[in-house]
Amino acid sequence: MKQEKESMIQTLFEEFINSYFYSPEFLETQNIYNNNRKKLHNIFQNIQTKLTLRKEEDFINRVLKDLLYLGDKETWVKLSEVYKKNKSFNNNRSDWDVLAYQVYNCIHDLLKSPDDLQSICDQYSQYDLFKDIPLFLFSRVLNALSRKKFFIVIPCSLKLMNYLSETSYNLTISNYPYLNSLSQKITQTLISCQHLSSILFLSESEIFYYFCDWLDRLKKIDDSSFLLENKKKQYTMMQLIEDTNLEETKLNQYIKTLKRKKHIIFQGSPGTGKTYLAKHIANHLTSSGDGFYELIQFHPSYSYEDFIQGIRPQTSLDGNLQYSMIPGCFLKFCEKAENCEDMCILIIDEINRANLSQVFGELMYLLEYREEEIQLAGSDQKFKIPENVYIIGTMNTADRSIALVDHALRRRFAFIPIKPNYNILRKYHQKYNPDYDIKPLINILIELNQTINDPHYEIGVSFFLTETLQEDLENIWKMEIEPYLEEYFFDETDKIDKFRWKNI
């Protein structure tokens, strides 16, 4: 939590404590909360008592209608309509019974092993039908049954957490472990600052719930939107030009290609700034609206299970191993993107260092046919890449693993060459070292790259983008440039001598 944000939220929390507690509004909210908590507790106890004697229809109603919705018929009807539209849901008693059992078992498992929140949520989130359950209702039940372990997550509290932690979580059950942990940390920070020994009759989860409810209903933070809308600072094209030292026409060409093809790869030799450029373009495109970008890096041991989904061993409650289908980082990224309207960009750094045909799997098909969905390996789940998902890869052409990039994948990406840009080096040192003559270094780099005579292995300028270049240059050359040249010219050592530090 940044200091200015922490100070702002502490000020609001102080106002909340001083003006809200023991007010008629607080007592009314507390009464509703306590009544609902007691109802949920009694309903769950009743379900447990009659579990072995259950009839399917009664069990479905008790778990889904009564426990989740507290008998709210209008909301229950809306949920029913959502499920009926789900292609994997047949809307028969058997499907409703399976869903009810999943909900009950998940709650039961979490109450028995609350410290396994992450693994249990991952396990149950793999069920397609489970994703349609609103997190507020699910967390409300858990909180009613165990106030000290589980926090209620409502839309306003989600905004607060995303604002303070600078994240972009959404209201899905797979995110609940992170949100529950964030709720605890934020509450503990606020309580310690206020020394709240006078309201020990409330649990931390209740304090957090009442605070967020106060922000939403009475303080109406959403309307003033000076805090919880988590407004991003827009990263303009002018800022992008200044930070990358590239021409606007060139940057617009890259952006236009990304929007048209949806998948691009920046390829070039070491030190050409491929990852730097990818991050800044992604920041520019997602800084306005509700989109976001994330970065992952591939490596030789990266697998389909890491990227798409796979069976992972987990310890069950009785200490035995069980194997569950766990979504990989791309499926989790797409799940977050489905809750956004604007561009969501996944940057895959060093994309060619993994076995791409193996890692991508069905994605090879989906990248070309974006409007279609396909069944994923090992499950009945069908998957489609959301329209607002874009991919930027970076590829080091000096890496021998470039041979692993087959022609099928090349057809699905637009490849954009990034070459050493000496003008970037010149502009950088004009800004940070105006008295330093960078021209001799640029001339040596031009001559060196002409000697290398291979665009895949040229030396980029990123090695020399340091504000203390005058002090660092010798170390950079001896420890980074010369070892690279020794490897490249391993059978032509005479070419290296000309570019030894002592000779330049």
Q: What is the pTM of this model?
A: 0.58
Q: Taking residues 96-108, report their average pLDDT.
A: 86
Give the distance, in angstroms, between the CA of residue 474 and the centroid of all CA atoms in the same chain.
Answer: 40
What's the confidence (pLDDT) of residue 346? 96
pLDDT above 60 (res 408): yes
d(CA 171, CA 169) in angstroms, rounded, equals: 7
**Strand-pair partners of 326:** 310
Q: Taking residues 152-162, report their average pLDDT.
A: 87
| Higher pLDDT pick, 385 / 5 | 385
Provide the CB-side half-sphere exposure for 97 (13 A, CA).
9
Give the distance, in angstroms, between the CA of residue 310 and the centroid of all CA atoms in the same chain.
Answer: 19
355-400 tens-digit pLDDT: 888 899 888 889 888 889 888 887 777 889 999 999 999 998 876 5
396 DSSP assignment? E
Give the range among 105-109, 115-119, 247-251, 375-379 with minimum mean pLDDT: 375-379
294-304 tens-digit pLDDT: 999 998 889 99
CATH superfamily placement of domain 237-417: P-loop containing nucleotide triphosphate hydrolases (3.40.50.300)
Give the distance, in angstroms, between the CA of residue 378 and the centroid of all CA atoms in the same chain.
Answer: 24
pLDDT above 50 (res 229): no
Nearest-10 crossing angle of helices 155-165, 204-213:
100
d(CA 254, CA 109) in angstroms, rounded, equals: 49
d(CA 383, CA 396) in angstroms, rounded, equals: 30
What's the confidence (pLDDT) of residue 224? 38
Q: Taking residues 134-147, report their average pLDDT.
A: 91
Residue ranges covered by each domain of the chain: 3-224, 237-417, 422-503
Mention every residue, 6+ apart, whose C-beta is less than 8 A from residue 415: 264, 265, 267, 395
- pLDDT > 70 fraction of the chain, expressed in percent and rounded: 85
| Higher pLDDT pick, 197 / 418 | 418
- Phi, psi dihedral angles at 170 (to 5 degrees): -120, 175
d(CA 221, CA 119) in angstroms, rounded, equals: 34
pLDDT band at 78 (very low <50, low <70, confident <90, very high): low
pLDDT above 70 (res 223): no
Q: Taking residues 30-59, report their average pLDDT.
A: 84
Q: Taking residues 123-134, report their average pLDDT.
A: 77
| Higher pLDDT pick, 349 / 229 | 349
pLDDT above 50 (res 131): yes
Give the range among 143-147, 168-172, 350-354 with minimum mean pLDDT: 168-172
d(CA 366, CA 357) in angstroms, rounded, equals: 13
pLDDT above 60 (res 231): no
Are the beta carbons of 13 and 190 closer than 8 angstroms?
yes
Are the beta carbons of 41 and 145 closer than 8 angstroms?
yes
Where is 274: in which H helix or E strand? Answer: helix 274-286
What's the confidence (pLDDT) of residue 275? 93
What's the confidence (pLDDT) of residue 420? 92
Sheet arrangement for strand 292-297: 292-297, 344-349, 389-396, 263-268, 414-417
Distances (CA, A) of 151 to 21, 140, 203, 341: 20, 8, 10, 28
236-280 tens-digit pLDDT: 999 999 889 899 999 999 999 999 999 999 999 988 999 999 999
Reduced 3-state DSSP string for 326-337: EECHHHHHHHHH
d(CA 461, CA 449) in angstroms, rounded, equals: 11
What's the confidence (pLDDT) of residue 113? 93
pLDDT above 70 (res 316): no
